[in-house]
Each structure stands twice: as structure tokens, then as C-alpha cells.
Amino acid sequence: MYLRRMFPILIASVFMLVGTALAGGMDGKALYRENCRVCHDKGSPHKQYTPMSMTQAQWHTFFSTKLVPSHKNVIHPTTGKNLLESLSPEQMKAIQSFAVDHAADSEQPATCG
Ligand code: HEC
């Protein structure tokens, strides 16, 4: 039966997806939500920023030249810790990838839900 033959493939796909997520180790979207959207949600005094607020080039420029000067004194509103000091380089990379992958001119423009 069709379904029966498909089942192992389905299971394998699920494992592969989970594997990819774990291998990446970092969920850029979740990290963006927890560390960026907290201050850049709709109606925020710091302005709304979602991945599709900027182009890929603008995000690259932001992460390489603007993030540190504009956020060095930023305190995370829920943890009370310095934002930049509480994120590892890998976590920041994952956030950057998420923003770039879903930028305005990317193949899958997105807000972060
Ligand atoms: C405490 C809240 C806070 C958090 C958390 C925060 N920001 Fe900001 N962000 C600000 C403030 C304040 C500014 C400066 C706003 C202004 O210029 O009026 C800013 C500015 C920006 C700007 C536009 C200014 C520029 O430098 O180009 C972008 C884009 C941005 N933030 C993205 C992010 C991203 C991505 C993250 C997560 C890694 C993040 N922010 C986390 C408060 C925050």
C-alpha cells in the first residue's frame, strides 16, 4: 500500500529535519524573537524591525558596522543583562542568518511571526 511504503521515508525525513536543526544547534528565528523582537515589535519606540524590514545588503551592513555601536549599552528587557554580552558569537551568527535569509529581497521574505 502506498502509505505503508511512504512511512519509512516520512520517518526518515522527520529525523533529517530534526537532525539539521540540531546540527545547526541554533534556532535563528527563536533567537531573533527572544533577543530582537522584544524591543523591535510593532509599535515599539525603537521602531519595528523584522527580517523583511531591510534588504540582505542592509542586514550585512547592520551586523558588521552598526549593531555594536547602536546596541552596546542595550539591556535585554527580560533578563536585565547586557544584550551583546549575553549572546555568543554563534547565536549572533544564527540571528544574522535568519535576518538575511528572510530579508526583503530574499527568496522568502518574512517577519518573525
Ligand atoms: C533594549 C531593546 C533592544 C534590543 C533587545 C535590540 N534593540 Fe535594536 N535598537 C534598540 C535601540 C534603542 C535602537 C536605536 C533606535 C534609534 O536609533 O532610535 C535600535 C536600533 C536598531 C536598528 C536600526 C538602527 C541601526 O543601527 O541601523 C536595527 C536594525 C536593530 N536595532 C536591530 C536589532 C536586532 C537585529 C536586535 C537583536 C540582535 C536588536 N536590535 C535588539 C533597542 C534594542
Domain ranges (residues) in the chain: 27-101
Name the residue at shortest CA distance from atom 28 of ligand 1: 49
| Mean pLDDT in residue range 33-59 | 97
Cell of 58: 542592509
| Mean pLDDT in residue range 5-22 | 58
pLDDT band of 100, cuts 50, 70, 90: very high
Name the residue at shortest CA distance from atom 12 of ligand 1: 46
How much is the pLDDT for 20? 53
End-to-end CA distance of the chain: 38
Name the residue at shortest CA distance from atom 18 of ligand 1: 46
Q: Does any ligand 1 atom lie closer than 6 A to the CB of residue 33?
A: no
pLDDT band of 23, cuts 50, 70, 90: very low
Q: Does any ligand 1 atom lie closer than 6 A to the CB of residue 94?
A: no
**Measuring CA to CA, how many Å separate 94 from each of 10, 25, 112?**
27, 9, 14
- Judged against a pLDDT cut of 80, whether residue 15 lies above it is answered with no
Which pTM value belongs to this model?
0.83
The DSSP letter of residue 82 is: B
Q: What is the CATH number of domain 27-101?
A: 1.10.760
